[in-house]
Chain A
């Protein structure tokens, strides 16, 4: 053992370049695998902190909307109660009833904060038992109607580090309510549920419970099955038809395991669904890590074989002196293990250093906790890497015949075919990575620079919650010359709006269409520079609005003006839409299609309406050069209107970036992995080229003696490698094209899969190969042929 160890060390020290290549490769491979493991592990822990998470499901609704069947997490409020009552298989059922904006909370005369309010029932604590009670307990959480359960974040905002339990809080959004804090809950990072505070469903006002089998947008329902629940087809059939049994709706229900919400939510989500990711990213990153590991393993396999081949005589002598095959095998394996272990330590150390950067790249908050699970993973990773890397050289070299080795003047055991295979695989992976990275970058550039049909430059978005008071706030803002324009709306035209059905009467034929409603004021078109194609924009003032509302309540004919977009115009099919009615509204104008959601979504039919009850946001265009001053002015003006409320703002461009956060992380991470794969390819190529050049030192010397020029030598060696890089290119391109084609299907608007992206990847790979090989060849070709000929 000691002797083998000595031999290994001698070999490592004797060939420092090769050893550095192997060691660097191992370090990179293990580092990449470790980081990806941390990320994948983190993704897989979502919701698993609840004790019976595998019995908890979120209710999904399939419903017909227009011509489409839409799947969503929205569900009707009575589902929880009725399901629990109807099916013994269901042990507990709860729902979260959220709202479109935050609600105020104030402790005594302290600062008024705003937090997201949810109503729920007592089963919430039975189902989600993983939320740690920092204060209070589940039994007393909703003992009284006026109890309030705060999230840790909100409790800290209101009470600092003082205890919150038993304290009275005032909320005065519509009417003044006084609540008593009954519990404080810690919400972990790895959950899709996020709330500021919880109230008992007993507080649900009549307004909220109106048409309970109709409104579902702000409700999420969760059920927990009994431990031994019998799930048969009859039960599934009944439970999927549950809505139809209680209403005349045809909606069907589906059930999503709680632990799958984070990665497998293949439906449109809204503000209630937090931290939703996509399993495709896990697959892509894991695949990239695996590919890098494969590259590293191949590097070691080939370069070790080559390196040992150069030491063939030594092996022959060991064998002649009685070295058994298994002791040689052990020696080769030990080499592999030694290098992998050392590399693993470096990789772990590097992981600690690079983790903050990796978190930044992926948008995660990963931490390295040396848990048993992580240690086991690392151990298995090292063993797997070491064995797979050392297996081929060990078997190949230990079975060599000593007579043949010793007879040969210069044993050239290096398997050229295997080396070529390595070049093909490594470069195929590198070309694949470069292509993928290229397409990601191209798509990201496309979605972040595409003209949305609106002018959003220097547009500040301020959530105001001012509703009826929006106009006076806007008018005050416009007094400042740095405020170029302003308009109010429900949300910034990035978050879409609410879907609704409109009944239309097209030449006597009744029909209904589905469109998105965005409530805006009369300055909206001017502010965002929407292009009007027909009619005029909304110019209704609020007094007219209330007059129409009164008519509506008195059941008289009433009319609210609306403006539609071109998609809605096309869908409606009116010859001249101006003056036509959709639902209770008269169309007064048509605007050119513009994007009011991220480019993941198609432009849908849109109806722009004016309703002061739904105005919660101010969109303010500020002077490019006076941003700071403008923000300060807006803040001061806002404080005059809402002294208690926290002022917040975001630039539209930042909102836009946030919508593409996932894509940005994907692009950055892929870029990093591509660089790693290129480095490994270069290392591999350096090793192989070095070996080949050493093999051909004599040939080069003879050629030079016979008058060959340096460039001819370089050309000869380059051609030898380039043909395999081209093979790699031919193999990698279709795979990359196929994978990217699938990925781009996630987008309603996508960049073209141009041939030049793949050609560029090939050129980059060929360039890397040429530079690497040329450098090695040039060093040898420049040497004095006498030295070359004396070499052997």
Chain B
């Protein structure tokens, strides 16, 4: 166990130097951007640039020519181990524990969010702090159906959005108070000791921010308007997973923030912190004379954050862009769909026959692999699932070998248990775009109840996974209560 102290000291110095250089560069760029943005005349807009990074040209995902290369995949083909992190129950028992968390991992923390709030945990699941405890009215989560209903008649929120993102030690979340109309991006410096949240409502100070951290961007730029529903008797319903998948607002740095759109001509706009539009990106493909009242929206595109950068693909499009503020988007991945490609015009037209047509669907960018799926032959909706006219094809892109491989799987089995778990016999895996951490590991949210059910299932019992690993999962199940939250980390 002897190590050379001088060698280790040298390692530390060189790693520190690299970190310092990176940080210096980041700060310099941010400062340059801030300086240049500050000098801009009011109303100034940059030219929106779609620019290829010549050193790293976009990777072509050759779907058209690889459709026939089908291979059976198990979890062990793409992962080596699984870690289960049991999240400590929240000390505030008034916060409901009936909804699975959406997880985000910083270098130091696990950030768990759901409609009830955002909480910090250590990497081994110990509760640290509550960043915000959401307060809602007119919102209901139905656990059985796993969906969220919003009733506009009495809708009100002093709450954070589900999506959080981070840069270094700084954690960001969106915050809104529908009663006062406040709409902010909040910044929490997690390198500092976080003082416990004071959630006492102060009637004389209704604008008191009920979450931790400081205001980073006022999204209303001083013009707050309390929420007023357009259709007071209406309601909205989201599947939990769809709600989690959605990124409404994102700030790639301290000087800008951006919004992505599915509807309308624009697909992305970048703003400065005063709310002035710095650049606006139009969709390449626009709807022309689209007059049908009913339309199909089975592709909502993809958006995800990776290492503080924002990536997106707009609906029915074939390119995944990386956003570089204030005015650049770089194509990073391009699907080659060949004859299978369907235009937005046809895809949205409900009378267009989609047989033979392929639309990109899911996309999860992990460390060594990209997990993706495609919708084929029809619109993805309950009806087409019922008559099995729509097919889901799953594929894995190997970043090291630069190869795309489709997975042998029943395309009309919509249960999405694609990668059978032969590591511990537990849950089959198919990652979501928003559940990949900084290290490129796959995160899966589970409850104690899920785990208990799994270990008592025949599938688990009959699994040929190593007995030691199965035993660990069995032990975990025995130590879990039904409402415990567990993060499954696939490495």
Q: Which A residues have a C-beta under 8 Å from some C-beta of B?
A: 57, 62-64, 69, 71, 78, 81-82, 85, 206, 209-214, 225, 231, 236, 240, 244, 246-248, 250-252, 254-255, 257, 552-553, 555
| A57 x B12 contact (CB < 8 A) | no
Extra contacts besides A64-B16, A213-B122, A247-B107 (4): CB < 8 Å: A62-B12, A69-B9, A214-B108, A248-B108
A553 contact from B3, B122, B198, Cβ within 8 A: B198
| A254 x B195 contact (CB < 8 A) | no
Q: Is B264 an interface residue (CB 8 A)?
A: no
When distances are taken between beta carbons in the complex, the residues of chain B under 8 Å from A246 are 123
Complex: chain B residue closest to A553, CB-CB: B195
| B124 x A81 contact (CB < 8 A) | yes
- For window 205-252 of chain B, which residues contact chain A by CB distance below 8 Å? 213-214
A85 to B19, CA, bound (A): 28
When distances are taken between beta carbons in the complex, the residues of chain B under 8 Å from A240 are 3, 8
When distances are taken between beta carbons in the complex, the residues of chain B under 8 Å from A248 are 19, 107-108, 168
Complex: chain B residue closest to A555, CB-CB: B214
When distances are taken between beta carbons in the complex, the residues of chain B under 8 Å from A209 are 122, 126, 128
When distances are taken between beta carbons in the complex, the residues of chain A under 8 Å from B195 are 552-553
When distances are taken between beta carbons in the complex, the residues of chain B under 8 Å from A64 are 12-13, 16
A71 to B128, CA, bound (A): 28
| A231 x B124 contact (CB < 8 A) | no
With A69-B13, A252-B11, A257-B1 known as contacts, the answer to whether A247 contacts B108 (CB < 8 A) is yes
Q: How many inter-chain residue pairs (CB < 8 Å) link A and B?
A: 78
| B1 x A62 contact (CB < 8 A) | no
Q: Is B193 an interface residue (CB 8 A)?
A: yes
Interface residues on B, range: 20 to 34
| A211 x B108 contact (CB < 8 A) | yes
How close is A256's CB to chain B, nearest CB, in angstroms? 9
With A255-B1, A552-B195, A553-B198 known as contacts, the answer to whether A213 contacts B8 (CB < 8 A) is no
When distances are taken between beta carbons in the complex, the residues of chain A under 8 Å from B9 are 62, 69, 252
How close is A744's CB to chain B, nearest CB, in angstroms? 23
When distances are taken between beta carbons in the complex, the residues of chain A under 8 Å from B129 are 210
When distances are taken between beta carbons in the complex, the residues of chain B under 8 Å from A552 are 195
| B1 x A82 contact (CB < 8 A) | no
With A78-B122, A246-B123 known as contacts, the answer to whether A254 contacts B5 (CB < 8 A) is yes
How close is B124's CB to chain A, nearest CB, in angstroms? 6
| A206 x B128 contact (CB < 8 A) | yes
| A57 x B1 contact (CB < 8 A) | yes
Q: Is B298 an interface residue (CB 8 A)?
A: no
| A78 x B123 contact (CB < 8 A) | yes
When distances are taken between beta carbons in the complex, the residues of chain B under 8 Å from A247 are 107-108
Q: Which 8 A-B pairs have the closest CB atoms?
A: A248-B107, A252-B8, A69-B9, A250-B15, A255-B1, A553-B195, A212-B122, A209-B126
Q: Is B127 an interface residue (CB 8 A)?
A: yes
Which interface residue of A71, A85, A206 has the most chain B CB atoms within 10 A?
Answer: A206
How close is B168's CB to chain A, nearest CB, in angstroms? 8
With A64-B16, A71-B5, A254-B8 known as contacts, the answer to whether A82 contacts B198 (CB < 8 A) is no
A240 to B15, CA, bound (A): 14
A252 to B4, CA, bound (A): 11
With A248-B108, A254-B8, A553-B198 known as contacts, the answer to whether A213 contacts B15 (CB < 8 A) is no
Complex: chain A residue closest to B1, CB-CB: A255
Q: Is B91 an interface residue (CB 8 A)?
A: yes
How close is A574's CB to chain B, nearest CB, in angstroms? 23
Complex: chain B residue closest to A210, CB-CB: B128
How close is B295's CB to chain A, nearest CB, in angstroms? 46
How close is A614's CB to chain B, nearest CB, in angstroms? 14
When distances are taken between beta carbons in the complex, the residues of chain B under 8 Å from A69 are 9, 12-13
| A213 x B108 contact (CB < 8 A) | yes
With A240-B3, A555-B214 known as contacts, the answer to whether A251 contacts B12 (CB < 8 A) is yes
A209 to B44, CA, bound (A): 49
Complex: chain B residue closest to A78, CB-CB: B124
A555 to B188, CA, bound (A): 11
Complex: chain A residue closest to B190, CB-CB: A211
How close is A84's CB to chain B, nearest CB, in angstroms? 12
A231 to B1, CA, bound (A): 7
A235 to B167, CA, bound (A): 31
How close is A240's CB to chain B, nearest CB, in angstroms? 5
| B10-31 Cβ-contact flags toward A at 8 Å (1 or 0) | 0111011001000000000000
| A63 x B214 contact (CB < 8 A) | no
With A209-B128, A212-B122 known as contacts, the answer to whether A62 contacts B214 (CB < 8 A) is no
